[in-house]
Homo-oligomer: A and B are copies of this chain.
Amino acid sequence: MIPNWLRQRAHLTPNRVALYDDTQSISFAELHDRTVKRARQFVYLGVKKGDIVAILMKNSIHMVEVIHALHYIGAIVLLQNVRLSIEEIKWQLDHSGARFVICDAPFPDERVIEWNEFIKLRERDGEWQTMYHLDDVATIMYTSGTTGKPKGVMQTYGNHWWSAIGSALNLGLHENDCWLAAVPFFHVSGLSILMRSVIYGMSVYIMSSFDAKRSNELILQGKVTMMSAVSTMVQQIIQQLKQPYPPSFRCMLVGGGPVSQPLLHSCANWNIPVYQTYGMTETASQVATLSPDARHKHGSAGKPLFHMGIRIEKDGHQLNANEVGEIVVKGPSVMKGYWQNEKETNAVLKDGWLYTGDIGYMDEEGFLYVLDRRSDLIISGGENVYPAEIEAVLLEHKAVKEAGVIGVADETWGQVPHAFVVLYDGTATEEQLKLFCMSKLAKYKVPKRIYIVDHLPRNATNKLMRHKLKKWVEEA
């Protein structure tokens, strides 16, 4: 048990700036005051400890208030990706049993409370969570999986705490640090910045959506010293850049897939200290991080954070250095499990070890190399896209008999999904199928190309051979 983070932080360093956006800055004391007001409004609504409340918002100071306010009550925060389709969002609300969803834009659901209405609510005294139990669930984030149905990752206070501490032990803690949050708070890469903020007493500069030009301004003016990004963001940053980054900027933490060699070279030229990282929702962010002084380890995701153990396994046996197998990780930032999904939880959590499904190896010095994310995972502009989920939607269309989805290299997004379908009859066109997907899926999940074919490549046990589909694309 440790003291409520924001409350303790406001007590220890009340006047330090907690949050900036383009129009204002607020101190930890102010953030705390606002949070208590929001918490009182939630109590008025009837929200109690243990309730699940969803948030469907873009990055903003308001969103931060809502997250901390729910934790002040001890409610569980369900963070939802605003880019998901209505159907996907409703599915999560239903599955989680969320009582409300706080939105910053209209959304068609009876559980919705729009921010503009929320702030008009009256207030009521509540029982505050002045101490956090590290084993309690703080947040839920749904991720899709190979089976198609999203799984609600339960992240505890302890998971977030250890993740923040592990990051600090690796990157250091400077009193003047300010972290640019241009990745969404509904992803763990963004949420973890907010957790670090209250734990470290660190300022965060909030961007509602990524703007390369503005990011460069803030960094060149010395206003931010650290930033989280994915490769495509770094690419855009470099396209906009006219002068090298100053020494005050000390860390560009890049997740969501490896950074290409040419991009790494550009970064070095522009004095951008890139820390490549490997992490996932299930580990409350970073598992391993490669520091710039280990740049000679091309393609590596670095060494584990201090609190994490990593090993490579195959057929239940731990492998030696340089042998390729499944990446298995252990440590106190590993999730508690999937929300109301014992089967999937037991499938990945064994004796405290998380079986990531990712394929890789460690070299003699213990540097991790990730070769393949979760066998068939597509990472498009930093968003995880699971082929199985898209295939399931395609199969819902009455004309589709079989479907296979793969990731195809893309200059802007890293990867984009392409689909192959076998039809019952000849009635559906590529455009029709895309429109159908559009109505069911987030835009970034809709296949950029849908190829109508006679058959899909399958092996003897009828399993789809995705690597063959990749060949088909190359040949096309």
Contact = CB atoms under 8 A, between A and B. Distances in A.
A130 to B, nearest CB: 8
Interface string A47-68: 0000000000000000000000
A472 B131 CA distance: 48
A168 B306 CA distance: 14
A332 interface: yes
B200 A307 contact: no
A292 interface: no
B307 A169 contact: no
Given A12-B303, A303-B12, A304-B12, A1 B352 contact: yes
A331 B174 contact: no
Nearest to A166: B2
A11 interface: yes
Counting every copy of the chain, the complex holds 2
**A interface, by DSSP: helix, strand, loop or mixed?**
mixed
A143 interface: no
B172 A175 contact: yes
Nearest to A305: B12
A366 interface: yes
Interface residues of A, number: 29
A3 B333 CA distance: 13
29 contacts: A1-B330, A1-B331, A1-B352, A2-B306, A2-B331, A2-B332, A3-B306, A3-B307, A3-B308, A3-B309, A3-B331, A8-B304, A8-B306, A11-B303, A11-B366, A12-B303, A12-B306, A12-B366, A131-B309, A165-B165, A168-B169, A168-B173, A169-B173, A169-B200, A172-B173, A172-B174, A172-B175, A174-B174, A199-B306
